[in-house]
A and B are shown apart, each in its own frame.
Chain A
Amino acid sequence: DTEVTQTPKHLVMGMTNKKSLKCEQHMGHRAMYWYKQKAKKPPELMFVYSYEKLSINESVPSRFSPECPNSSLLNLHLHALQPEDSALYLCASSQDETGNYTSPLHFGNGTRLTVT
């Protein structure tokens, strides 16, 4: 069982649709992350939230809009996506973002997104 829960598991959307991915953790972690992973490739960091504030945006297109309503929830709002955005989207959390603490990332099972 994963301690980071992502919904939905699968999502198919058209290029004009608006959808959201949801991530939830109840481990008291204060840092949350979105990663994008293409098939047989390593995950690529998209966003980092630390204490509910956006601390990193890895130059992600504005058609991806993250939101952190509280310390347990992380959303990724999707709008006007392109077929090349089809991928596995992984959410992760860690106890603290600071580099001086060995707080490994805990990942969810991901949402498999297909853009048609």
Chain B
Amino acid sequence: AQTVTQSQPEMSVQEAETVTLSCTYDTSESDYYLFWYKQPPSRQMILVIRQEAYKQQNATENRFSVNFQKAAKSFSLKISDSQLGDAAMYFCAYRSGYGGATNKLIFGTGTLLAVQP
């Protein structure tokens, strides 16, 4: 069975600084997708960034980028130029890429990010 581990329950960053959130996963599959979701106090789960396992190039979305290390099964999220609005719970998630698989996301336990002004 696949598992996702986020070893940092809480993190803090100064506004305009850079922070990296860690995520590791365990799988025997070779085809899968990885996601980072953000959940602010408004409660909505918002997709931040996604990565296809077959792509070697790290995904980027504006100030958000990932460091995807497939061999190490690591998928960290880097937030550059942190803003107050980045304060939220961040969940790392895994989904199998095999046919017949449901779109079942396996979530990590989350990292609560605080942004200090």
Contacts and interface: CB of A to CB of B under 8 A. Distances in A.
DSSP class of A's interface residues: helix, strand, loop or mixed?
A: loop
A110 interface: yes
Interface in B40-64: 42-47, 50, 52
A40 B103 CA distance: 23
B91 A97 contact: no
Interface stretch (A16-24, A60-68, A77-85, A99-107): A99-107
A98 B112 CA distance: 31
Contact of B110 (A33, A42, A48): A42
Contacts of B109: 41-42
A104 B33 CA distance: 9
A109 interface: yes
A43 interface: yes
Interface string B18-57: 0000000000000001010100001111110010100000
B99 interface: yes
Contacts of B43: 88, 90, 109-110, 112
B103 to A, nearest CB: 5
Assign chain B's interface to a size class. Answer: 20 to 34
A40 B96 contact: no
B72 interface: no
A43 B106 CA distance: 9
Contacts of B102: 48, 50, 55-56, 97, 99
Interface in A32-65: 33, 40-43, 45, 48, 50, 55-56
B84 to A, nearest CB: 20
Given A42-B91, A99-B97, A99-B99, A107 B104 contact: no
Contacts of B35: 104
